[in-house]
């Protein structure tokens, strides 16, 4: 019995040591979920900020001078082209028109009389020509007086929404080409424009893609765009590009683009701020990893890769934009067969041995085939 005791104790000690080593080994190799990058055919989107602007905006000004007699609209209402918005006191212009018509009638009689006299050689041709010129001037004066009378009714030239009246009834307004009184404004609503600025670098990118046949220019094709307002979480407003400026602004180093949107319900107002996105690449197959799988190493972005010995290696990567809110496009740095840590990243560090667990089923990306 005394001979067996040392052996039993030795075996027990060996068993304990063996168990401790197994626990330490397990503790030193924490489990992590790994998977190869997802591959998906998609198109990247570029985002810009900008504001809506009316396609047509008209300043309503008086074209004749006089006292404002009527305001025939409610501030902010919808108006149609041809609707009368203001009426300037018409009485002086009616008198002027009647006087001009009387002068025209008198000139017509004088011309007819001299024409009969000229037929019998009782009057010279020069006198007839003078009466003809007087008749032409009188007819012109009638047309001018009639036009001035029409201008007393200030009409909207477009369909749209009128602003507030800037002059009250009873005030004297000035007409003419210079110094005419501004009465109100009218802006069109449907369709509506959206203006934004793109940088010189982005313009060069689009130019290169067009030259390579990967993405046509917005000048040559009405490319689809989408806009999201400040209180929205999705790009719900659909439109198309309809203009790219012909030169870069030297003061800002940017070029202006414009899109057009339908606005039948009038919910998009001129001056409203929004975020626009437009296809920034051709369709291609991209490698995707979860955005939370990307870490920072000083100035570099890295993903943690498990090598053949189950050791963690930080792999510097070049990233693209975010896709569908959760997937990050990886342009270079990893291959399609690399085992990338998708979860458990906070518990590991480079050089650590881990126990990789394959992802049984990779979460599907949202069906939208575009990268933000």
3-state secondary structure 97-122: HHHHHHHHHHHHHHHHHHHHHHHCCC
CATH tag for 46-55+190-279 (out of 2.40.30.170, 2.40.10.10, 3.30.470.20, 2.60.40.420): 2.40.30.170
Residue 24 dihedral angles phi and psi, to the nearest 5°: -65, -40
- Cβ neighbours, 10 Å, residue 4: 8
- Confidence at residue 147, expressed as pLDDT on a 0 to 100 scale: 95
Torsion of CA 322, 323, 326, 329, to 10 degrees: -60
- DSSP helix/strand/coil, 275: strand
pTM of this structure: 0.72
- Confidence at residue 24, expressed as pLDDT on a 0 to 100 scale: 39
- Confidence at residue 88, expressed as pLDDT on a 0 to 100 scale: 97
Q: Say which CATH architecture domain 91-151 belongs to.
A: Orthogonal Bundle (1.10)
Tell me the C-alpha to C-alpha distance, in Å, between residue 123 and each of 45, 98, 114, 116, 354.
85, 31, 7, 9, 122
- DSSP helix/strand/coil, 212: coil
Q: What is the pLDDT of residues 290-312, one digit of tens each?
A: 888 888 877 788 988 999 899 99
Q: What is the pLDDT of residues 133-161, one digit of tens each?
A: 988 999 999 999 999 999 999 999 999 99
Q: Do domains 46-55+190-279 and 62-88+153-187 have the same CATH topology?
A: no
> CA–CA separation, 324 vs 363, rounded Å?
12
Tell me the C-alpha to C-alpha distance, in Å, between residue 76 and each of 126, 164, 187, 203, 243.
60, 6, 10, 39, 29
- Cβ neighbours, 10 Å, residue 93: 20
Q: What is the mean pLDDT of each run of 10 residues along the chain (372 residues)?
A: 37 38 53 88 90 96 96 96 97 96 91 81 78 90 95 96 96 91 96 96 91 88 93 92 94 95 93 93 86 83 90 90 83 89 81 85 45 50
- Confidence at residue 365, expressed as pLDDT on a 0 to 100 scale: 45
- Confidence at residue 28, expressed as pLDDT on a 0 to 100 scale: 60
- Confidence at residue 99, expressed as pLDDT on a 0 to 100 scale: 95
- Confidence at residue 349, expressed as pLDDT on a 0 to 100 scale: 86
DSSP string covering 114-173, please?
A: HHHHHHTTSS-HHHHHHHHHHHHHHHHHHHHHHHHHHHTEEE-SSSEEE---SS-TT-EE
Q: Is domain 62-88+153-187 given the CATH code 2.40.128.90 in the classification?
A: no
- Cβ neighbours, 10 Å, residue 53: 15
Domain ranges (residues) in the chain: 29-42+284-371, 46-55+190-279, 62-88+153-187, 91-151
Q: Say which CATH architecture domain 29-42+284-371 belongs to.
A: Beta Barrel (2.40)
CB 162 within 8 A of CB 233: no
- Confidence at residue 27, expressed as pLDDT on a 0 to 100 scale: 52
> CA–CA separation, 58 vs 82, rounded Å?
13
Please give the mean pLDDT across all residues of the chain.
Answer: 85
Residue 341 dihedral angles phi and psi, to the nearest 5°: -75, 120
């Amino acid at each position: 019995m005394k001979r067996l005791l040392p052996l039993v104790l030795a075996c027990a000690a060996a068993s304990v040591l063996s168990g401790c080593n197994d626990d330490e080994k397990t503790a030193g190799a924490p489990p992590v979920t790994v998977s190869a990058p997802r591959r998906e055919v998609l198109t990247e989107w570029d985002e810009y900020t900008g504001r809506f602007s009316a396609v047509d905006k008209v300043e309503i000004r008086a074209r004749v001078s006089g006292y404002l007699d009527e305001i025939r609209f409610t501030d902010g209402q919808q108006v149609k082209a041809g609707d009368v918005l203001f009426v300037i006191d018409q009485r002086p212009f009616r008198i002027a028109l009647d006087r001009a018509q009387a002068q025209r009638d008198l000139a017509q009689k004088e011309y007819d009389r001299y024409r009969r006299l000229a037929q019998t050689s009782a009057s010279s041709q020069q006198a007839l020509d003078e009466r003809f010129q007087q008749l032409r001037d009188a007819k012109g004066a009638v047309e001018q007086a009639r036009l001035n009378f029409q201008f007393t009714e200030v009409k909207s030239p477009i369909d749209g929404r009128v602003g507030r009246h800037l002059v009250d009834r009873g005030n004297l307004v000035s007409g003419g080409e210079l110094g005419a009184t501004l009465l109100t404004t009218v802006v069109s609503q449907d369709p509506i424009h959206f203006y934004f600025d793109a940088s010189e670098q982005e313009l060069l990118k689009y130019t290169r893609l067009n030259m390579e046949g990967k993405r046509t220019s917005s000048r040559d094709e009405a490319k689809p765009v989408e806009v999201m307002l400040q209180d929205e979480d999705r790009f719900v407003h659909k439109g198309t590009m309809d203009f790219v400026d012909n030169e870069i602004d030297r003061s800002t180093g940017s070029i202006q683009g414009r899109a057009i949107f339908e606005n039948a319900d009038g919910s998009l107002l001129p001056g409203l701020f929004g975020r626009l996105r437009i296809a920034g690449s051709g369709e291609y197959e991209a490698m995707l990893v979860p955005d939370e799988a990307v870490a920072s190493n000083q100035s570099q972005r890295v993903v943690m890769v498990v090598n053949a010995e189950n050791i963690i290696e930080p792999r510097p990567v070049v990233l693209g934009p975010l896709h569908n809110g959760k997937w990050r496009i990886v342009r270079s740095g990893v291959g399609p067969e690399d085992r990338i840590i998708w979860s458990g990243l906070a518990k590991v560090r480079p050089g650590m041995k881990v126990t990789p667990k394959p992802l049984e089923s990779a979460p599907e990306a949202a069906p939208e085939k575009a990268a933000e």
